Each structure stands twice: as C-alpha cells, then as structure tokens.
Amino acid sequence: MLDSNKKLLNITHVHSPTKKRQCVFISLLLSACTFNIGATSNPEASLEATYFSSDIPIVLSATRLAQPQTEAPATITIIDQQLIKASGAKHIVELFRLVPGMHVAYFRGNKPIVGYQGLSGEFPQGVQVLIDGRSVYSPLFGGVDWSNIPLEIEDIERIEVIRGSNGSSFGSNAFQAVINITTTHAVQLDGVALKTTIGERGYQRTLLRAGKSLDDINIRISASHTDDNGYQHNDDDSRQDSFTGRLDYQVTAYDNLQINVGVVNSLKQTHTPGTLLDPFDPPRQVDESNHSIHAKWERLTNTSHQFTTQFSYTRHISKDKVTSFFPTAIPLFSNVVTRIDYTNYYDRYDFEFEHQFQPIEQLRVSWGMGNRNDRVMQPYWMNSKQKFDNSIQRLFSNVEWRANDNIIINAGALWEHSQLSGDTLSPRLAVNYLPSPNQSFRLSVARSYRAPVLAENNFAADIVLQSLDVPGLIITQPILRSTAGLDPVSVNSFELGYHGLFFANHLNLDVKLFRNEYDRLIHSTDEITDAVVSLFGVPQATVNLGNKLDTFDNLYRADVNGYEIEVNYRPNSNNLFHAGYSYHHTNVGKVSNNDIQNILFSIPKDTFNILASHTFSNSVWASAAYYYTGSMEYLISGNPQGPMRRLDLNAGKSFQLAAKQNLDISLTLQLALDKNKDFLNEFNLDNRAYLQANVTFN
C-alpha cells in the first residue's frame, strides 16, 4: 500500500487527544473511499484493516474516487518517494522521464517542458498538472511553467500520472495526460532539515525545511535558493528564490483544513540562441514571479459522506521589455528604434466543491462543480495593454458500479462552459474485468477537449520600427494573428489494458493498447505579408520586407496508435526495479491545405526508461537509470533532434551523527551518451555531476 500513509499511521497512532482526533479523521476519510462504507466503532482498527490489508496500490486521480490500481479505469504511473530518491532527480521534470510516453526537454536551458505522446511545443498544452488539487495549467500560452511552480521536490509525497485523456474528471486541458502531485502532510516533518547541492555548470542549491506540531495544527515550511548556468556557450543562466508552506489544521474529528502558500522569484538570461545580433531578442534578464495561496476544507460524516471545498488564488508576472537601436538598409529608415513589451501577467481565482457518497453497497458516486476566472495581460502578443478575461464553469460526476465480484463499470462526464469557446461535454465509459483481485482487464472509451487559451484567440503581434531620421515615420510588420473563434481541440480515446500483480504483489505489470483520434488541432500557417508605412499614425504605403505572418487556426487531425508497457518490481524495501516503454504510430490529416510534416515529426516513435536501485546493509545505496527518446521535432519553435540517450548513476550513504541527527550524502552523474540536441540546435545535453549533503535534526 501507500508508504506515505503507513508513515502517517505510525505518527498518529498515539494516545493523545490531538493525535487521536487526526486518526479518527484519517480513518473516516479512508473508509469513505473504500467499498463497504459505513460508520465505524473503532476508527484506529478500521484504519489499519481497511487500508493496509492489501499491497495493491490505491490511486486517487482516475475518477476522484480512491480505487485499487487494478480497478481504476485508466493507465496510471505512480512515482513515490522511494522512486524519487532512486532517480537522483534534481528537478521535478526529470521524474517524468520515468513515465512511458512522456518526453522532457529544456527550451533555452532554463525553461523545462514536459509533453506526452508528442503534439508538443514550447508550451505543451495537452498535460494538466495539479498540486494538492490546485491546477497550475497556465492561461498565458497553455501548458505548465515548470520553472516557476511553488514546489520543492523534497516536499512531494507521491505523483500519479494518468497516461491518457481524463476530461471527465478534470475538464479541458486534461487532454493527453494528467499529473496529480500530492505533497507531504505537515505532520510528517517535525524538526529541521538543511540540504545543499553543488554541481557542474555553476549549479548551487540550498534548501531549508522545517516542521512543527502545535496541538491540532501542523506547519511545514521550505525555502530554497538555486543558481544554474544552464547550457555551455549560451546565455541561459538562472537564479531562483522559493518559499512554500503548508498548514494542516484538524478542526474536529470530522473536519480538516489545509492551506498551502507559495512564492517564487526568478531571474533568467535569454536571447535568440546562436547570435547576439537579433535586435528583437537581444541578451537580457527576465524577471519572473509567481505567488499562490490554496485552501482546502475536507468534511467527513459518520454516515460516510465526504465534502471537499477548495479555493485558490494565483498571480504570475514576467517582466521583459526590450528597446533596441540599429541601422537598416530601408530608405528613410537607416537608423531605427524598436520597443517591445514581452511582459506576461495573469491572475486566477479558482473555486471547487465536491461531494462523495455511497447510496448503496455496489455504487459509489462523486460529483461536484467549479468556477475559474483568469485575467491575462500580454502587451506584445495581443497588441494591447488591456487585461483579457476568461471564465470557466464546470459540473462533473463519476460513478463506480460493482456489477458483481468480477466486473466494475466506471462512467463519468464533465460539462464545461468557457467564455472563449462555449460548451463542451467530456464523457468516459470504462469496464474492468477482474478474474482475480490481482488481475484486471480494462476497456475504456473517452472524449476530451483542449480549450484555446486567451493568447491563441487574440494573437495580434507586430514588429514596429520607428525611424530616427524622419520623426513620426513608422513601419509596422504583422507577425502573429489568430483566426476568429477558434474551436476547442478534441480527442477520442480508446484503450484496452491489462494490470497484473505477481509474486505476492511485489511485481506490478501494466500493458495498454491505445488509439487517440485528434481533431481540429491548432497550428499556424505562414505567408509573406506586406508591412505598412505610416506617418504620425496615417498609413502612407506598403512595403514587402520578405517577412512572414503566422496565423493560428484549427488545421489538422491526427490518429495516434500504439502501446505502452510498465514494469515495477520491489521484492523488498532494499531493492527496486522500474522499466517503461512506449511505441507510437501516427497518421496526420489536414483540415485545410497546409504542411503536415511538423505535426507528424512532433511525436517520437518510441520512448524507453529503465531504473534499478539497491540499498546495502551499511546504509549505502546505489542506482542506475537509462533514458531514451526517439527522434522528434517540437512544434512551432523547435529544431529536428535525433534520439536522446542518457545514463544516470547515483550513490549515497546515510550517517547517524547523534541522537535525532542524521547526515545523507549522495553523488549523481548524468552522462549524455550522444550529442543530444535539446529542443534547439544550439543546446546539447552535456555530462553533469552533482554532490549533495542533507542534514536533519528531529
């Protein structure tokens, strides 16, 4: 079962009023998520009997209902603390190299991106990411800004990755995959931990974590500072300060309040790679900040109803203004100035209510509603300093029906209304057949959507050259436009899967065959467009400078067929083996007359990962991991890249310095086995070494 909850049980299983209340709450929560829901006369005994009677992992993300992994209607990869440690990952995104079908890259060295089954660019828009239930999907260009999310890798309890669309549970943007990250409960850290990491290319990171229990309140805080010089021979250095905190307040035996706060400030170098002469993208520093607060209230009743209400506010701003003076060969414009405001800003208010209950023994139900309001300002991309709004309302329900001991039917749907793209309905129907509790065959059919973000609907970017020779004389060159009224992108997903556990549940095997039918994929057409010459705002003439205008529209459809395999073997607590493979075969069709190659090449033919770890009797541990991603080319701004191959070697040792004082030291080697291009031609993966020391005082 879940190691995290075993830890939590050990912490809370004491005879004090506060801890007793926490145990009662956890018992009620877990019993509300299991099959035979009812009042319990002995909460602590019920907790242990209900939750630890089996070694089948429990997953929470597929239908919002807690389910054994064999009974979930989706393919799920679980990344827990043991796997995180064995990977040696220094950044959260590196963990997703362990997920079949996922690919990780760095745009300009200091901007990580995570995609699934291709169709990805600088902003992979098909992966929804939640942290403790809060969506961090960006309303700017879509996707997730992994470089600015307020989360430390040490604060992660576990990650569930839904490999496939899941719009019926999480709405638009749960289009290709869902990453659901759960952080550690504040009660799990009682003391202070100080970690420092140094590495090649100027990498330095210092992290301070502290936790304290105060009766019914548990608090955890984390603060870090990171410096990284990025890729060799490129201006992509970054410096970041981060502060996160979590408070857990056990209000009553039936009520729990969780509050998360996060602040991230970053300073990043950037410019067009390969040249220092681009006046529209010169070397400079970009100042970014992200602030968030998230409150979640969970209410359990002794009649086994669970109510969850959560509210969050997020504010993000990226300050980036460019002014360049340069000469040209254009008559009357021999010397010009251009001023571009690349600033991006958004704030988000998000509210959600959910109710889970079991009307009869064979039936469990989850339903809820939510409202999200985004406000975005992008002066350059939308050619306006106005703030644009988008409001999204959603209503969802998932139902699990146990037809008999061998057949489980999951049905769900989510209705969503977007101010930008109107109404969508994302349904799913899945049947799981269990010939035994440890063997499961599943068949699922689903439809999901990706809603266009505000920028896609409102692109209006121009390059403006102001003459220094003739006052008031300006050339305006259109660069980006959007077709009015973009439709949501849709996908029909079909999946046939198998999940089996062997050798007393120590070996976990998952296999799936899938077909995804994408329609109305958004991409750009380009054509040579004239620039407009104006004097004091009055158009005078047009001139052809040979520049292209990109116009975004619903252009493509694509069918992706393939299979994925994942194996996890943990014979005991000292040994771990993990492997994953994915294969994709793609056909691309056109909605309009346009080149299809870029879409086709954005999907790697296959991915592969393997990791093995062993802990020796003297508290020494070692692991090795190999990662492979087939040839691909990211959409819009990427360059063709050959296969990526990397070998990671990790080793560490734990020391007890004194009573309640421990020291952990580890060494990580990341070895690039080829001259691996990373998103752009100018960036190549290189070899890196990291040395890490972690001191804890409990």
Report the pLDDT value the prediction gives residue 22, as an integer from 0 to 100: 56
Handedness of CA 144, 148, 149, 155 (dihedral sign): positive
Domain membership flag for residue 665? yes
Of 668, 651, 656, nearest in space to 696 by CA:
656
Angle of the 17-32 helix axis to the 43-51 helix axis, nearest 10? 40
Position 453: which residue type? V
Report the pLDDT value the prediction gives residue 664, as an integer from 0 to 100: 94
Bridge partner list, 622: 614, 651
Domain membership flag for residue 42? no
Report the pLDDT value the prediction gives residue 674, as an integer from 0 to 100: 83
Distance CA 362, CA 365 (A): 10
For residue 197, give Cα distances in angstroms to 189, 200, 203, 356, 693.
Answer: 21, 10, 8, 43, 7
Of 542, 562, 658, 632, nearest in space to 120 by CA:
632
The 10 Å Cβ neighbour count of residue 511 is 15
Report the pLDDT value the prediction gives residue 589, as an integer from 0 to 100: 75
Which residues constitute the domain of residue 372?
Answer: 54-697
Do the beta carbons of residue 555 and residue 587 sit within 8 Å? no
Handedness of CA 183, 188, 194, 200 (dihedral sign): negative
Of 420, 366, 523, nearest in space to 172 by CA:
420
Do the beta carbons of residue 471 and residue 158 sit within 8 Å? no
Identify the CATH number of the domain in which residue 284 sits.
Answer: 2.40.170.20
Domain membership flag for residue 8? no
Average model confidence (pLDDT) across the chain: 88
Instruction: State the maximum Cα–Cα separation within the chain, in Å, rounded to a whole number.
Output: 88
Do the beta carbons of residue 665 and residue 649 sit within 8 Å? no
Of 128, 258, 265, nearest in space to 183 by CA:
258
Distance CA 433, CA 497 (A): 10
Report the pLDDT value the prediction gives residue 595, as an integer from 0 to 100: 59
Domain membership flag for residue 518? yes
Task: Please give the sequence-ordered ranges of beta strands (E in DSSP) within 529-619, or none if there are none.
Answer: 531-535, 538-543, 548-572, 575-590, 606-615
Contacts of 322 (CB under 8 A, 6+ apart): 280, 281, 282, 284, 338, 339, 340, 341, 342
Domain membership flag for residue 233? yes
Report the pLDDT value the prediction gives residue 685, as an integer from 0 to 100: 84
Rg of the Cα atoms in the chain: 26
Of 240, 285, 248, 284, nearest in space to 265 by CA:
240
Domain membership flag for residue 146? yes
Task: Please give the sequence-ordered ranges of beta strands (E in DSSP) within 54-136, or none if there are none.
Answer: 58-59, 67-68, 76-80, 102-106, 112-116, 127-131, 134-135
Position 535: which residue type? L
Of 581, 661, 578, 567, nearest in space to 614 by CA:
578
Distance CA 208, CA 222 (A): 6
Angle of the 3-12 helix axis to the 43-51 helix axis, nearest 10? 160
Q: What is the pLDDT of residues 536-574, one digit of tens each?
A: 889 888 888 888 898 998 888 889 999 999 999 999 999
Of 140, 67, 124, nearest in space to 603 by CA:
124
Total tally of structural domains belonging to the chain: 1
Please name the residue that has the structure tokens 């063709």.
Answer: 640
DSSP of 499-523? EEEETTTTEEEEEEEEEEEEEEEEE
Q: Which residues of the chain have pLDDT under 50?
A: 1-17, 24, 27-28, 30-54
As a residue count, the chain comes to: 698
The 10 Å Cβ neighbour count of residue 600 is 16
Report the pLDDT value the prediction gives residue 255, as an integer from 0 to 100: 94
Domain membership flag for residue 432? yes
Q: What is the pLDDT of residues 8-43, one digit of tens each?
A: 333 333 344 455 555 545 544 544 444 333 333 333
Domain membership flag for residue 664? yes
The 10 Å Cβ neighbour count of residue 573 is 9
Distance CA 431, CA 496 (A): 10
Report the pLDDT value the prediction gives residue 516, as an integer from 0 to 100: 95
